[in-house]
Amino acid sequence: MKILFIGDVQGQSNINKLERVVPGIRAARGIDLVVVNGENSADGNGITPYSAKMLFERAGADIITTGNHAFKRKEMDSMFNERAEVIRPENYGEYCPGKGFCIIDFGYCSLCVVNIMGNHFMPACDNPFRCMDMVLEKLKNTTKNIIVDFHAEATAEKKAMAYYLAGKVSAVIGTHTHVQTADEQIIGGHTAFITDVGMVGAVDSVIGANKNVVSVFTDYYPQKHTYAEGESEFNAVLIEIDTVSGRALSLVRIRELV
């Protein structure tokens, strides 16, 4: 099975750009499932029902993951409850809208995508390592094919999670920092890992945001979050797994200019 995992999408204009890229990759590489991190897909930050709908209909997403901006837009709460294919970090806890994992049945096999969030330099949430223990207990009789979106700031925490889950999941894919890393590997011959898959956002930007945010670091005065325009980079990874064992066979980085 081949899974295309696309990095954090920055605003509506970049959803439109995905429409130019994803169908071709899906056809050329025989993609079975497309996962997109959409927590920044709405103009003005966060995710809305409209931006989620566009990710499904125009960007070809099968599952949408999120992160620390999951609940930034209150109008999204009902969609988290109603659409199983839109997930939020599982370790936000049971009192938040939605769920943190989604199981897809392909007939010949099933696959689960799990969304969790790191503790370090991130909003308060439950321990992600203990949370994954509980998720894996729930899935032990369901599927061995498990893709984890670990939305975290600290690179060490991401790598630690990869070793913690080695042999237990098919892939641990880091999101949140918007910069694609060059450390893709298969840990223990089983679990694919990359510290960060990157983003779909403007090249001439500060991790997707307009360059006026530079003043935040010089003058300390808050700036309205707006997404930069212009040529964008499309960052993703292609994961191939053996659906009988759940073992990752390969992990390939993709970076294209759009």
Catalytic residues: 69
Paired with 202 in beta bridges are: 232
HEC profile of 184-212: CEEECCCEEEECCCCEEEECCCECCECHH
- Cα–Cα distance between 96 and 11 in angstroms, integer? 24
- Cα–Cα distance between 185 and 15 in angstroms, integer? 28
17-26: burial string, b at 16+ Cβ within 10 Å, e else:
bbeebbeebb
- State the Cα angle at 91 between 197 and 127, rounded to 5°: 95
Q: What is the DSSP string of 60-96?
A: --SEEE--TTTTSSGGGHHHHHH-TTB---GGG-TTS
Count of CB atoms situated within 10 Å of the CB of 214: 12
